[in-house]
Amino acid sequence: MRSAVRANIVLVVIALVALGVPFIASGFQTLEVAYALIFAIAILGLNVLTGFSGQISLGHGAFLAIGAFTTAIGVHSLRVPYLATIPMAALVCGILGYAIGLAAGRLEGIYLGLATFALGVATPDVLKKQTSLTGGVKGITLPPITSPVAGLSDDQFFYLLCLAIAAGLFVLAANILGDRTGRAWRAVRDGELAAAAFGVNVGYYKTLAFAISAAYAGVAGSLYGLATAFVSTDAFPFQLSIALLVGAVVGGIGTIGGALIGGLLTEFLPIYAQQLLLPLSKDLANAAPGAVQGILLLVVLGVARAERWVSAGPGTAARARTRRHQCRERSNPKSRLSLREELSIVGTPSVRFAIVAATSLALAACSSGAPSGGAPSGGAPAPTSAPAAATAAPAAGGALTASDVGVTRDTILIGATVPLSGPAAAYGTIAKASDAYFHYANDNGGINGRQISYKYLDDAYNPAQTVPLTKQLVEQDQVFITFGGLGTQAQTSVRDYLNGKKVPQVFVATGATTFAAEFEKFPYTFGWQPVYQGESLIYSQYIMKNTPNAKIGVIYQNDDYGQDYLDGLTKGLGSKASEMIVDKEPNDVGAPDLSSQILKLKNSGADTLFVFETPSPAIKSLVAAFQAGWHPTIYLNSVSAPVPYVQAAQKAAGDEAAVNGILSVEYLKDPADSGQANDPGIQLYKQVMGKYYPDGKLEDGFNVYGMATAWSLVDVLKKAGPNLTRQAVVDTLTNLNETENPFMYTGIPIKNSPTDHYSITQEFLAKYDTSVNDYKPISQPLDVRGQIKFP
C-alpha cells in the first residue's frame, strides 16, 4: 500500500514538473526537452520489440525516417494539416513494420539484428533516390509550427503537444503490456518453444510487436520532422538506430519508464559530456559525443553478451531471468547479477520515477544550449572573438546601450554553422580566419566602440544538424545576426526560419544563385561571393570562344550546389549544350570513391572535364582521371581550387601532369603568389594570420576568403551606425558599395542595390602552372552582371 501511494505521489510530481518545463525554461531549452520526449517515444517502441518480445533491432532509425517523410510529404505536397500527418505516419510505419515482421519472422538473435541493421542502412539511400517525393538530397523544408493557443509560444505549444502524445503512448504501452498481448510477448521472449507449447501463436505476436514498435517510431519521426521543420535523409544515419538501442539499454531494457530515461540520456548526455570537457580541451569536447556513444555501445554489447542475445538456442533468455529471480530471492551477496539485472533495479517505480523527475528538473533548469536536436552531433561550442562575459547584459551608463538582440553596450554577438568536420571540413578554416580578423578589428578600435564576438558551431556539412544548431544560435544564444554560414543545402534549410525570425543571414558562404536572385522573397538573406552560375557562364564563354568543338564531361555533387554550377554551364553553352556536353556524372556528398564516374566520363569520349565538387571529392576526381590515363582539359570550380588542394591532388597522383593547366577563376588576392608578397592586402593577411591564427595555412585561399568577408562585415557594421539594429544592417547591406576591400583584386567591386543583390560579378580566368605552383591570370576581369538568370 505504501509503495503504491509513494509511486502515485512521484507520478504527480513528475506530471507537474513535465507541465512546468515550458513555463520555467527558455524556448530553446523547451525544444531540447521536446526532442528528448521524441526520442523516448522511439525508444519505447524499440523496447516493445526488443525488451518485451525479445527481437533485437539495429535499424529502428529507418522507421523514424519513414515517419518523418510521411509527415513532410503530407504537409508539403498533399497539403494535409500537420496534426493529421502524425497518425498517418504511425499507420504507414505500422503497416511496413508488420510486413517486415512477417519477412523476418524466422530470424532470431544476431541474424535478426543484421537484417534490421541492413534496413537502417539502406532506407535513407532508398528514400534519397525518390527525388520527386522526398526531395532527394535537398530534403523537404516545412513551415514552422505556430501555436493556435493564445498565450502559448510556438515552442511551448509544440512541447505540450509532444508531452500529450508521449503520455498517451506510454499509457497505451502499459495497458498493452498488462493484458494478454503483453503476457504473450514475454512468453515468446523467454522461450519460443515453451510459449508455443502453451498455445501462444508465436509468429503472430512477433509480427504484431514489429508493427506496434514501428508505429511508435513513425510517430517519433513525424514529431522530429515537425520539430526541425526540415526533413532530409541525412538526419537518419544508421548511427541513430544504434543510439536508440543504447538509450533503451541504459534507460532500462524491458521497462516502460526506462524509455523516458533513455530519451533524456540520448538527447542530453552527449551535450553535457561536451560541456564538461570543454574547459580541458576543445579537441576532447569535440570528441565527447562520439566517445559517449561508443562507451554506451560497449555497455549494450556487455548486456547482449550477458543475456545471450547472440544465441539462437531456445530458453537462454528464460534461464537468465530465472537466475535473476533466484538471485533476488536468495539475496545472496555471492550471486553476481548481470549488467542488465543491475540496470533493471532502476526499473522499480519509485526509484525510476524519482530519477526521471530529478533529471527533468535539472535539464530544464541547467540546459545551456549546446548542440542538440537530432542524432548526437560532433559539434562543439567554438571559440569567440570576445570574452564570454562580455556578452552579458549591458551595464548601466556609458555612451552606448543595447540596441537590439545580441547587441550590448560592449559587444555584438554573431554566429554561424560551419563544417569543422565531415566531408567538407576543408572549409572549416574559413570561420577561423574570419574570427582571426575579428580579433584584429577588436584590437584596433572595434565597431563604434563595441567588440565582435563570433560563435561558430560544427554542423559537419549536414543540413539536419544545421537546423537545430541555427535555432540554438538564435533562440538560446540570441545572436544579433548569422554570418558566414556555410553550405548551399545547409543555408537554404534555415533561410525560411531566419527570415521568419527577421534575423539577418549575412554573407552566406556559398555562391548558390538563389541567395542573390531571390532577395525579394528573402529580404534578410545576403550572399557575398560570385554566384556559381556566373562562374559557369565565364567558363562557357571562354570555351565557346577558344574550343567551340570541345566534348565536355561533367562530374558534380548531386545537390543544389553541384546542380547550380551545371545549370550555369548549360545556360552559357545555349543551343550547343546538348551537343557539347557528352556526359554528366553526379555523386552523393561523402562518396568514398569517384573512379567509376571518371571512367564513364573518359569512355564517353570527352576531352574536357568540368569538376564541380567540394575540395575532397575534387582531389579524388583529379587523381582518378590521371590514374585512368585520361588527360583532358580541366576546369575546376573556384571553391575547390586553392593552391594547397591542387598540390594535394598532384602529390596523390605522383605527377604534376595531373594538375598542370587546370583552369579556374579568381577574384581574391593569392597568398601563394610570390609576385603579390608586397601587396598591402597580403601583408595585412599575413600579419593577422601570424598573430591570431598561427596554425592556419598561409597559402590557403580559403583563409583569404574568410578575412575578406569579415572585412566586409566590419565595414557594414560600422556604416550601420552606433545605434545598431538588425534593420540598419539590412538597409546597409541593400545599398552596399565597397571598392577598397584589401583582400580583393583591385577594381573588383562588392555592390548591391535595391534591385540587384549579385554582390560580386567580376572574376579573372586563371591557369595553374606547376613550374611556379600557382595560378596565372589569362584574362582581364570578366563581368557577368545582368547575364545571370534564375531559375
Q: Which residues contact 579 (CB under 8 A, 6 or more apart)?
A: none
Superfamily in which the 532-666+763-783 domain is placed by CATH:
Response regulator (3.40.50.2300)
- The proportion of the chain whose per-residue pLDDT surpasses 90, expressed as a percent, equals 65
Vertex 675 angle, CA 672 and 678, to 5°: 95
User: For residue 496, what is the DSSP state?
Assistant: H
Q: With H, G, I as helix, E, B as strand and everything else as coil, classify residue 483.
A: strand
Sign of the dihedral defined by the CA atoms of residues 448, 453, 456, 457, in that order: negative
> Using an 8 Å Cβ cutoff, are 699 and 671 in contact?
yes
Residue 757: is its pLDDT beyond 70? yes
CB atoms within 10 A of CB 134: 24
Tens-digit pLDDT profile for residues 12-61: 888 888 899 999 988 888 999 999 999 999 999 999 999 899 998 999 99
Average pLDDT, stretch 374-384? 40
Residue 295, C-beta contacts closer than 8 angstroms, at least 6 positions apart: none
The residues, any chain, with a CB within 8 Å of residue 652's CB and separated by 6 or more, are 619, 623
Burial 137-173 (b: 16+ CB within 10 A, else e): bbbbbbebbeeeeeeeeebbbbbbbbbebbeebbeeb
- Per-residue pLDDT averaged across 333-343, rounded? 37
Least confident among 175-184, 281-290, 706-715: 281-290
Is 752 strand, coil or helix?
coil
Q: Which CATH class is domain 382-530+676-760?
A: alpha beta
DSSP 52: I
* DSSP-derived pairing of the beta strands 782-783 and 762-769: antiparallel
In this prediction, residues 264-292 reach a mean pLDDT of 71
Where do the domains of the chain lie? 18-366, 382-530+676-760, 532-666+763-783
Beta bridge partners of 121: none
Q: Which residues contact 23 (CB under 8 A, 6 or more apart)?
A: 156
Q: What is the mean pLDDT of residues 318-337?
A: 41
- Burial class from Cβ neighbours inside 10 Å (0-12, 13-18, 19+) for residue 121 reads middle
Q: Is the pLDDT of residue 403 over 80?
A: no
Is 590 in contact with 560 (CB distance < 8 Å)?
no
pLDDT of residue 269: 81
Query: 181 near 200, Cβ under 8 Å?
Result: no
φ, ψ (nearest 5 deg) of residue 552: -100, 135
What pTM, to 2 d.p., does this model score? 0.81
Place of cell 559587444: 411
Dihedral angle of Cα 697, 702, 705, 706, to the nearest 10 degrees: -70
Which grid coordinates belong to 95? 503497416
* Cα 557 → chain centroid: 17
The cell numbers describing 645, all together, are 588542394
What would the mean pLDDT of 389-405 be, rounded to a whole number? 53
How far is the C-alpha of 759 from the C-alpha of 90, rounded, in Å?
47
pLDDT exceeds 60 at position 346 = no
What pLDDT is attached to residue 789?
Answer: 74
pLDDT at 340 over 60: no
257-277 vs 349-366: helix crossing angle, rounded to 10? 40
Reported confidence tier of residue 413, pLDDT bands at 50, 70, 90: very high
| DSSP per-residue string spanning 383-443 | P-SS-GGGGSPPPS-SS----BTTB-SSEEEEEEEE-SSSTTGGGHHHHHHHHHHHHHHHH
CA distances from 201 to 109, 182, 185, 215, 327 (A): 19, 13, 10, 21, 31
- Find the mean pLDDT for residues 193-206: 90
Q: In whole angstroms, how large is the CA radius of gyration of the chain?
A: 29
Tens of pLDDT along 217-259? 999 999 999 999 899 998 898 889 988 988 888 888 888 888 9
At 7, is the pLDDT very low, low, confident or very high (cuts 50, 70, 90)? low
Three cell numbers written together for 136: 532527394
Mean per-residue pLDDT, 723-736: 97
Structure-model confidence comparison of residues 463 and 440, the more confident one = 440
